[in-house]
């Protein structure tokens, strides 16, 4: 009876232990690679939304709108890059916005989203994202995507938060 | 608590992003068990039950145990073990204390361990960054969507029984093509939730 | 069975997806693009190979009582390994497969082969079985994905095909298209083998550990 009970549990526990160790070891190898690749992708994305920048220095996000996750100032002072988390239709939507030194949006891009494919996901298409280029406010005239009101609204609120963050920083300095 | 957001998640999971007909999760039971309405309903209710409990168990573990200790990579293993253990526990408890329920649902429970939909919803909750309340609502919605698809499909299948397709299409192929048409009809829901609840 | 037959049986005669009807979820979900299909196929084959070998090695050690949980832990371990490697070295594939990568854990093919084959056969045979099933799975995924990508998107492996690109039937890349192509493929295979394979429409979960539950309620 005891043998019936002890052996199965022991074998199962041993297997769990061995697997966990193997995974911990592999994690040790792969985690740095993953983080490095992610950092490179983030850097590339920053250059994509603010092409004239030469380098980026991170800023603190205290005092900025709540949805701003990260803020960067370009080293050659041509503008700022903000990473914004908006509440979309299918969950969080992460955007990266480049705001020029003149307070106008240079470019915006979606990093992550869980919007409905074919509907809300259209906010990531260039014909929608381009509507915001060069704006520094006044989004009333911008058309939302038909049938994707929530995704569009989330996107727009993210952009206005980015512009707000710009104003906050400029006022502070 | 943003009530509107919760309703959107619920309706979205049931209609727009239906787990079976859009996301292809839970296909095995969908094709296997939907022949009989009684079985289909029983299985679906068991699935809803397990999804809710699995979410209630896995969400806190992810946030308070795994993430805090940098053990995110153990997510897959831990989640599937929790689901397997839960199912086993539920089966034992039902068998001992609520015989009636066990006789109705018990037989489907082991099948649910390998149901992609359950593991899928627990992982999706984390991936989408949902809060606990949102995760529970998502689980409920996904389960209800599963139920909806199963029940409708069992009706469709009872009609297939009396039809006479070409030899090589008999059985699974014609069932799949009917599933395709059902899936297509659900496409009509895209945009409905948006416009009902959108500003 | 000869060594070669162990491998080739997984390709047509006992094709895991089209004949044994296992692993349907990822097949339908991931077969929208040919490149994703190959990626998923390779990932699943890697897990299948690893788990078959280890389970066969340990088959006399693992007590029957905790058989299923042990298999699950082992398979989940391999899946996590593959997940980490894919995320580190092929990020685009990682994004494309999304939630279906961890879902390989509940892919009936892997658990099914463990239950039906690896725990009764030698390590070498189990490995060959895994390779055969893996090839069958990958090929099926590739065929389905190619059909859906070529006619639904006008591309193949991302390369554009002139006339088809402008005349694509995009529903093929979406959910309903998946069901239809899958159904037609099964019908085709059934016709080719002229009914030597069983297609009675019932769930073929003999490979799944829940086979008894299936049998119980199909009979009722």
Which of A33, A122, A144, A149 should we substitute to test contact with B (largest number of B Cβ atoms within 10 Å)?
Answer: A149
Q: What is the pLDDT of residue C201?
A: 37
**Cβ within 8 Å, pair B27-C25:** yes
pLDDT of residue A163: 85
Q: Is the pLDDT of residue B144 over 90?
A: yes
Identify all chain C residues contacting A25, using CB atoms and an 8 Å cutoff: none
Mean pLDDT of B51-71: 85
Distance, in Å, from the CA atom of B87 to the CA atom of B110, rounded to the nearest integer, reads 7
Average of per-residue pLDDT across A46-57: 85
Q: Over C100-128, what HEC string results?
A: HCHHHHHCHHHHHHHHHHHCCCCHHHHHH
- Residue C82 confidence (pLDDT): 92
Short-list B178, B159, A137, B122, CA closest to C105: B122
Farthest CA pair distance, chain A:
79
Contact A114 B127 (CB under 8 A): yes
Q: What's residue C79's pLDDT?
A: 92
The whole-number pLDDT of residue C75 equals 92
Q: Is the pLDDT of residue B168 over 90?
A: no
Q: Is B12's Cβ below 8 Å from some Cβ in A? A: yes
Question: Nearest CA of chain B to the CA of A107: how many Å?
Answer: 25
Cα–Cα distances (Å) from A26 to A18, B73, B159, C55, in that order, read 12, 10, 52, 21
Instruction: Work out the end-to-end distance of chain B between its first and last CA atoms, rounded to an integer number of angstroms.
Output: 18
Better pLDDT: C2 or A33 = A33
More confident residue, A124 or C44: C44
Mean pLDDT over B86-93 rounds to 83
Mean per-residue pLDDT, A166-173: 80
Mean pLDDT, rounded, for B5-24: 83
Bridge partners of residue A72, in order along the sequence: A58, A81
C90-140, pLDDT tens digit by residue? 888 888 888 888 888 888 888 888 888 887 888 888 888 889 889 989 999
Nearest to C70 among A11, A33, A41 (CB): A11
pLDDT in tens, A80-112: 888 888 877 767 788 888 888 888 888 888 887
pLDDT higher than 80, residue A155: yes
Per-residue model confidence (pLDDT) at position C194: 67
Mean predicted confidence (pLDDT) in B59-65: 86
Query: Which residues of chain A make contact with B16, given a CB cutoff of 8 A?
Result: 116
CB of B137 closer than 8 Å to CB of B6: yes
Q: Highest mean pLDDT: which of A9-13, A83-87, A158-162, C137-141?
A: C137-141
Kindly report the average pLDDT of chain C as a whole number.
80
Mean pLDDT over all residues of chain B?
83
* Positions in chain C short of pLDDT 70: 1, 194-220
With a threshold of 0.90, does the pTM exceed it? Answer: no
Please report the pLDDT score of residue B136 as a whole number.
92
d(CA B68, CA C187): 50
């Amino acid at each position: 009876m005891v043998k019936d009970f002890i052996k199965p549990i022991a074998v199962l526990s041993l297997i769990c232990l061995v697997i966990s160790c193997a995974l911990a070891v592999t994690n040790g190898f792969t985690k740095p690679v993953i983080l490095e690749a992610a950092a490179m992708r983030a850097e590339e994305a920053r250059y994509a939304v603010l092409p004239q920048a030469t380098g980026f220095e991170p800023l603190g996000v205290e005092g900025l709108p709540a949805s701003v996750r990260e803020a960067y100032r370009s080293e050659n002072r041509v503008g700022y890059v903000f990473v914004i988390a908006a509440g979309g239709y299918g969950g969080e939507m992460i955007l990266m916005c480049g705001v020029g030194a003149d307070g106008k949006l240079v470019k915006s891009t979606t990093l992550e989203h869980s919007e409905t494919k074919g509907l809300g996901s259209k906010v990531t298409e260039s014909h929608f994202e381009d509507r915001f280029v060069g704006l520094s406010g006044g989004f009333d005239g911008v058309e939302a995507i038909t049938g994707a009101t929530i995704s569009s609204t989330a996107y727009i609120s993210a952009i206005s938060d980015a512009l707000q963050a710009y104003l906050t920083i400029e006022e502070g300095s | 608590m943003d009530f509107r957001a919760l309703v959107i998640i619920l309706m979205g999971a049931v209609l727009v992003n239906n787990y079976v007909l859009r996301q292809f999760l839970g296909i095995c039971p969908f094709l296997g068990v939907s022949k009989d309405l009684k079985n289909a309903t029983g299985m679906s209710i068991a699935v809803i039950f397990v999804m809710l409990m699995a979410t209630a168990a896995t969400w806190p573990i992810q946030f308070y145990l795994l993430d805090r200790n940098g053990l995110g990579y153990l997510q897959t293993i831990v989640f599937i073990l929790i689901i397997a253990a839960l199912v086993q526990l539920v089966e034992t408890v039902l068998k001992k204390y609520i015989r009636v329920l066990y006789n109705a649902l018990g037989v489907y429970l082991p099948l649910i361990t390998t149901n992609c939909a359950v593991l899928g919803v627990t992982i999706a909750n984390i991936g989408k960054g949902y809060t606990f309340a949102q995760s529970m609502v998502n689980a409920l919605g996904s389960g209800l969507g599963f139920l909806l698809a199963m029940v409708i499909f069992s009706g469709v299948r009872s009609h297939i029984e009396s039809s006479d397709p070409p030899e090589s299409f008999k059985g699974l192929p014609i069932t799949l093509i009917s599933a395709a048409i059902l899936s297509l009809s659900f496409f009509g829901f895209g945009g409905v939730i948006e416009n009902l609840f959108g500003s | 069975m000869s060594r070669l037959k162990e491998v080739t049986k997984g390709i047509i005669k006992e094709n895991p997806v089209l004949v044994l009807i296992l692993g349907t979820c990822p097949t339908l979900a991931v077969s929208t693009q040919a490149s994703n299909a190959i990626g998923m196929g390779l990932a699943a084959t890697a897990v299948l190979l690893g788990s078959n070998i280890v389970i066969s090695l340990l088959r006399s050690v693992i007590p029957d009582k905790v058989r299923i949980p042990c298999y699950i832990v082992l398979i989940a371990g391999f899946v996590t390994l593959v997940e980490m490697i894919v995320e580190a070295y092929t990020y685009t594939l990682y994004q494309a497969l999304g939630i279906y990568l961890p879902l390989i854990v509940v892919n009936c093919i892997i658990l099914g082969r463990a239950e039906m084959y690896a725990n009764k056969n030698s390590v070498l045979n189990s490995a060959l079985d895994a390779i055969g099933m893996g090839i069958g799975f990958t090929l099926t995924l590739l065929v389905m994905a190619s059909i859906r990508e070529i006619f639904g998107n006008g591309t193949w492996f991302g390369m554009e095909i002139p006339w088809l690109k402008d005349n694509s039937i995009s529903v093929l890349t979406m959910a309903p298209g998946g069901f239809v192509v899958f159904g037609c493929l099964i019908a085709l295979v059934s016709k080719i083998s002229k009914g030597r394979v069983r297609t009675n429409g019932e769930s073929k979960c003999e490979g799944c550990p829940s086979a008894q539950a299936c049998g119980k309620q199909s009979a009722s």
